[in-house]
Amino acid sequence: PDSPAGSTWMPVYVHSKIMIIDDVFLTHGSANVNRRSMQVDSELNICHERMDVTQPLRRHLWNIHTKGFQGAASDSIETAAQGWQYITSQNVMRKKNGDTPLASVVGFMWTSSSRLRLD
């Protein structure tokens, strides 16, 4: 959705990570959960256990990334999953047709059983 004119699908790499668990625990920052990040790299995260902060943030982020299509930002896991599936399936077709993304959610599927040690 934020791609420049003439480029409807521009991949973006964001180094920041966020993890939300049960709308209570939140960690946000640049750290990876691997040995190098924890022992060698200069990384920083913040974390807390405050539902009054975490839940509204999760709702806000889901609304940004789904644009609220088909209930994709719902508190109901089933409704949200159906909404995310709708967006990702629409985006597959839209990309094939050269149209702009419906929302910024795209599917990711890793089918290889091989693992790389690139960190």
pLDDT per residue as tens digits for the range 73-115: 999 999 999 999 999 999 999 999 989 999 999 988 888 888 7
pLDDT at position 59 is 95
Inside any domain, residue 112:
no
Alpha carbon dihedral 52, 54, 57, 62, in 10-degree steps, equals -130
Contact 47, 54 (CB under 8 A): no
Rounded-to-integer distance, Cα 119 and Cα 109, Å:
21
Helix-then-strand count for the chain, H and E: 3, 3
User: What total number of domains does the chain contain?
Assistant: 1
| pLDDT of the residue at 90 | 95
Question: Is there a domain that residue 43 lies in?
Answer: yes
Domain with 45, as residue range(s), is: 17-96
Q: What is the pLDDT of residue 2?
A: 59
pLDDT attached to residue 93: 96
103 is a domain residue: no
Sheet (strand 17-21) strand order:
17-21, 25-29, 45-49
* 15-54 tens-digit pLDDT: 788 999 999 999 999 888 788 887 888 888 999 999 999 9
